[in-house]
Amino acid sequence: MPFSTSPMGPELVGLIPAAGRANRIAPLPCSKELYPVGFRLEKNSQGKRPKVVAHYLLEKIRLAGISKVYFVLRAGKWDVPGYFSDGSMLDMHVAYLIVNSSWGVPCTLDHAFPFVQHAIVAFGFPDILFEAPDAFATLLARQSENHADIVLGLCAKRQNPKCDLVDFNSDGTVRKIILGTLDERVHYSWAVAVWTPVFTKFLHDYVDRHHSRSEYVEELSVGHAIQASIEAGIRVESVVVSEEPYLDIGTPDDLAEAIRRETGS
């Protein structure tokens, strides 16, 4: 399925969902994306400043040469734009889209469709930390080389049945996303992704088909949408970016571990 590009190639944009309520670690004094877990050096300053969770993801996106990012926020999370502002602290251009209601991350992401439908999207969760500074650069290189519709960045799997496991061939082609169960034969889960307008359009149609969530018991995730795209014939590939499991700071244990790792305390 072709997609249109400009003579200079498609635009590269970052896309970050931030509409959740952080119920697993509530109450917090701020949005979980802004919880400080480490320190950063500020330009023109000899001192350290707190480094919030989402800063790590934005850094990785910027290292891949991407300077434009959209956050999709739930109404009321005004501290996120209040903190990152226009993105200049990371030499980026950051914009904010507001979603008044959402039945899950696919629905949240689809609110950006009018803004990203012709772009190559670099996607990540702002509450996940992983060891791979060059992850997005690696995924973009793989996508450019093989022209895959989606390229997933894999980390060693977590012992958590809620994470998405990735079953893939020796060449990285993804056979299946395994959702909601641990499988000892599969050793990696995905943490980040790069995708083309092919998947952006598929996601838009997927959300449209599931616009009413009343008949579903489980919440549909991005993993559900990617698995549906595989079944529809969309080309999904993968690259291992880290042999360490990622940390999900939306859980109390991982939040404590992230603080310990980043501060040494």
**pLDDT tens digits, 204-220:** 999 999 876 555 546 78
What value does the mean pLDDT take over residues 34-56? 82
Of 146, 131, 151, residue with least CA distance to 192: 151
pLDDT digits (tens, 9 = 90+) for 70-119: 999 999 999 999 999 999 999 999 999 999 888 899 999 999 999 999 99
Measure the CA–CA gap between 43 and 71, rounded to whole angstroms. Answer: 24
Residue type, 23: N
- The CA R_g of the chain, rounded to the nearest whole Å, is 18
Task: Report yes or no on 56 lying in a domain.
Answer: yes
Q: What is the pLDDT of residue 263?
A: 78
Percent of the chain with pLDDT over 70: 91
**Between the CA atoms of 236, 172, 245 and 13, what dihedral angle is there, to the nearest 10 degrees?**
-40
Domain interval for residue 253: 12-263
Q: How many domains does the chain have?
A: 1
Among all chains, which residue has been given the structure tokens 């022209």?
147
Q: Domain holding 62: CATH number?
A: 3.90.550.10
Task: Report yes or no on 185 lying in a domain.
Answer: yes
- Give 38 or 45, the one with higher predicted confidence: 38
Task: Report yes or no on 2 lying in a domain.
Answer: no
Q: How many other C-beta atoms are found inside a 10 Å radius of the C-beta of residue 257? A: 16
Task: Report yes or no on 174 lying in a domain.
Answer: yes
**Mean pLDDT over the full length of the chain:** 90
What value does the mean pLDDT take over residues 165-181? 95
Task: Report yes or no on 5 lying in a domain.
Answer: no
